[in-house]
Amino acid sequence: MKTATKEMACRRALFAMAAFWLIVGMAAAGSEGGALSLANVSVSPNPVMAGGNATIRFRIYNSYDFWVYNVNLQPTGSYPLIDVSPLSSYHMGQINPGLNMGYLNYTIAIPNTTPSGVYTLAFTATHYAYAAQGVDVATSSMPLSFYVQNRPSIKVVASNPQPAALYAGHNQTIDIVIENTGYGTARNVSVSVSAAPGASVLSSVTGFFVSNLTQGQVVEEPLLVSAESAGSARLFANITYYSSDLKQRFSSAQSLDLSVAPAAQFDITGESSTLVPGSTDLPVTFKVRNTGSVTAQGVQLNLQSTYPITPISSTYYINDLAPGATANVTFLVSVDSQGVPSTYPVTIYEQWKQPNGAVSQQFSGSNNYYVVVNQASGGYAEVAIVVVVVAGAAYMVFKRMKAKGKGKEKPAAKGK
């Protein structure tokens, strides 16, 4: 019994001594730091880009001439790196004297709001070591600095203040808005625009280049487009750009959705007429049909021609032309007596308003034809209006009506 009591007393004394030396070692940790350090360090990518990941790879060097154990490695740092993407500690176990043979890898998410600059992380290692006085707990702080370059981000949208929608069957100029929504400068920005089925890009220039686009900067480029039917249409933008130091290339594909509103559209056919050269006030009649899905209001049609045909009464008014409705439109022309057999162009311009358009918005379009002048029997020239559409160049214009005495609608009556 006495023997057991003595053994327990000895064990308690040993535990007390070990606890004492552990406390002493922890208190002296600050003065014994620096045993461990980073070696063979690499950070990729280089430079580190904001909005991406940074992978840190290194080995540990133990400057002691004896091994340390129970090594716990914890990275620490300041906002925005560690505070935004915290990292857990890493238990390494035992580290022998000299260069540790294994590599360690840490991956850190860099917030896209991180400004460009140099950032420092401290890898703090807490470890245990046997010393002359017993077991020591030591801390090694190993700083690592690297450069973060902020990443630009290019966004492309289609914008047009008036109208808010593209009108079916017509051409309209919209604005392609190129904006840097990132936190770094974008260099050599290239944007190429194409159309999905059901839409068309009519501009001769469909690619745009911006040499330098700083954070928040916006560039607008005009683009002439058309859509076949009401509802929606889509454009595609292929984008490439570089970081401010031109070392990293970025690319993306974005879709630009357009709203397509219904609209009036005109199909015009002509009636063949025999015109005697040298005569005046000869009627030329066309049949106009609204093939669109919206009523055309206050329609004004104008005839333009070339020699030897001269319009005498070149304007015709239609009050309303509902979808599917037709109207006969007659103009008066003169034919020069010296006119020779040939083919001459004739153009009819249309202007109108729509119930779904803005108050000050006016629509316009044009239809082109050939007029053939033939030599008539008996020595007279016969003029035949041949309905050959050479260009359906319908387009839209926007016009502000002036307040006093101008821009008033003309009476909805058949005119000369």
- Does residue 248 contact residue 50 with C-beta atoms inside 8 Å? no
- What proportion of the chain, given as a percentage, has pLDDT over 70? 75
Alpha carbons 416 and 408: distance in angstroms, whole number: 19
Does one domain contain both 204 and 277? no
pLDDT score of 76: 77
Residue 273 in domain: yes
Residue 299 in domain: yes
Q: Using pLDDT thresholds of 50, 70 and 90, give the confidence band for residue 404.
A: very low
Weakest-pLDDT range from 25-39, 42-56, 342-356, 393-407: 393-407
Alpha carbons 31 and 234: distance in angstroms, whole number: 68
Residue 414 in domain: no
What is the SS3 string spanning the chain?
CHHHHHHHHHHHHHHHHHHHHHHHHHHCHHHHCCCEEEEEEEEECCCEECCCEEEEEEEEEECCCCCEEEEEEEEEECCCHHHHCCCCCEEEEEECCEECCCCEEEEEECCCCCCCEEEEEEEEEEEEEEECCEEEEEEEEEEEEEEEECCCCEEEEEECCCCCCEECCCEEEEEEEEEECCCCCEEEEEEEEEECCCEEECCCCCEEEEEEECCCCEEEEEEEEEECCCEEEEEEEEEEEECCCCCCEEEEEEEEEEEEECCCCEEEEECCCCCCCCCCCEEEEEEEEECCCCCEEEEEEEEEECCCEEEEECEEEEEEECCCCEEEEEEEEEECCCCCCEEEEEEEEEEEECCCCCCCCCEEEEEEEEEEEEECCCCCEEEEEECCCCCCCCEECCCCCCCCCCCCCCCCCCCC
Does one domain contain both 238 and 282? no
- Does residue 72 contact residue 127 with C-beta atoms inside 8 Å? yes
Does one domain contain both 218 and 241? yes
Decide if pLDDT at 8 tops 70.
Answer: no
Query: Which carries the bigger pLDDT value, residue 289 or residue 70?
Result: 289
Does one domain contain both 145 and 97? yes
Q: Supply the mean pLDDT for the chain.
A: 78
Residue 355 in domain: yes
Structurally, the chain folds into a number of domains equal to: 3
> What count of Cα atoms within 13 Å lies in the side-chain half-sphere of residue 42?
7
Weakest-pLDDT range from 91-95, 169-173, 307-311, 325-329: 91-95
Of the candidates 261, 285, 311, which is a domain's last residue?
261
- Does residue 157 contact residue 256 with C-beta atoms inside 8 Å? yes
pLDDT score of 20: 32
Residue 416 in domain: no
Question: Which CATH number goes with the domain that contains 145?
Answer: 2.60.40.10
Residue 232 in domain: yes
Weakest-pLDDT range from 15-19, 93-97, 129-133: 15-19
Of the candidates 120, 149, 178, which is a domain's last residue?
149
Q: Using pLDDT thresholds of 50, 70 and 90, give the confidence band for residue 366.
A: confident
Decide if pLDDT at 369 tops 60.
Answer: yes
pLDDT score of 25: 30
Residue 14 in domain: no
Does one domain contain both 235 and 331? no
Decide if pLDDT at 386 tops 70.
Answer: no
Q: Give the model confidence (pLDDT) of 236-246 as tens digits.
A: 999 999 988 88
For residues 145-167, give the mean pLDDT: 81
Alpha carbons 253 and 294: distance in angstroms, whole number: 35
Residue 52 identity: G
For residues 374-381, give the mean pLDDT: 55
Most confident of 94-98, 217-221, 243-247: 217-221
Does one domain contain both 137 and 170? no
Q: What is the pTM of this model?
A: 0.56
Decide if pLDDT at 172 tops 50.
Answer: yes
pLDDT score of 401: 35
Does one domain contain both 391 and 273? yes
Domain containing 104 equals 25-149
Q: Using pLDDT thresholds of 50, 70 and 90, give the confidence band for residue 407.
A: very low
pLDDT score of 376: 55
Q: Give the model confidence (pLDDT) of 49-88 as tens digits.
A: 888 888 999 998 988 888 888 888 888 777 767 654 445 6
Query: Which carries the bigger pLDDT value, residue 367 or residue 205?
Result: 205
Of the candidates 239, 261, 283, which is a domain's last residue?
261
Does one domain contain both 117 and 134? yes
Residue 12 in domain: no
Does one domain contain both 176 and 229? yes
Does one domain contain both 349 and 308? yes
Does one domain contain both 242 and 166? yes
Asked if the peptide bond before residue 308 counts as cis, ω within 30 degrees of 0, the response is yes
Angle at 337 between CA 341 and CA 308, to 5 degrees: 60
